Amino acid sequence: MPEPTRNIRLVVEYDGTELSGWQRQENGPTVQQHLEEGLAELHGAPTRVVGASRTDAGVHALGQVVAFETTSRIPTDGYRKGLNAILPRSIAVVEVAVAPAEFSPRFSARGKHYRYALWTRRDRSPRLERFSWHRPFPLDLAAMRTAASHLVGEFDFTSFRASGCTAQTATREITAVDVTRPSDDELVIDVRGNAFLRNMVRILAGTLVDVGEGRIPADTLPRIVAARDRKAAGVTAPARGLTLVEVFYAPDFSRR
């Protein structure tokens, strides 16, 4: 009698600096590629994985959610130990569980939390270079918070959508945009929403930085959204400052 198929769910953390993003491609190593190669070594056969978010080259993750189907009897802790022994040091599996058969990392997701980090000291920081955008200029925190408040809600976010985005609609709901200063030299933008367009969080972050540095007035954000024109918004912030923090699911699919 054949072994039943299990749906294995992973939570994966990675430093995306030297990776070409999540999805397999020809021009460089990716998270998906490394995971599939690691699973092929453990299973002795090809295994396809699916991720919750197609993070771009240079983007990091603390809580990327991944799933794959298998008839292997490897225990969940065996996957964690086995994959972490095979994967490069830039990628680690931090949780493993058996998920319901109908669970999909992408289509079961109810929302995501992204964080954009800025380093605002005059001098650069070698320690934070890989994980933040160095802006050695004063940032008006109050103005950025005012601008951020105009982004909360359900809107057509075409103004914050990169060219080449293949999403069928630009309508998304942002539930929170929090701008905080963990220390005198750091500023963090936390964005939560139901889904995001290509480069959307990086364009939001770049626009808020333009507000903080005085190039865009905070009260013009509603007009930028309403324009539905990428040229109306600010710059696209570099990938290195962006981290996928968490993916949210309904209670039946929450972490176990």
Catalytic residues: 56
Tokens representing 203 are: 């364009």
What is the DSSP secondary-structure string of the chain? Answer: -PPPPEEEEEEEEE--TTS--SS--TTS--HHHHHHHHHHHHHSS----EES--PPTT-EEEEEEEEEEE-----HHHHHHHHHHHS-TTEEEEEEEEEPTT--TTTTEEEEEEEEEEE-SSS--TTTTTTSEE--S---HHHHHHHHHTT-EEEE-GGG--TT---S--EEEEEEEEEEEEETTEEEEEEEES---TTHHHHHHHHHHHHHTTSS-GGGHHHHHHHT-GGGS-PPPPGGGEEEEEEEE-GGGS--
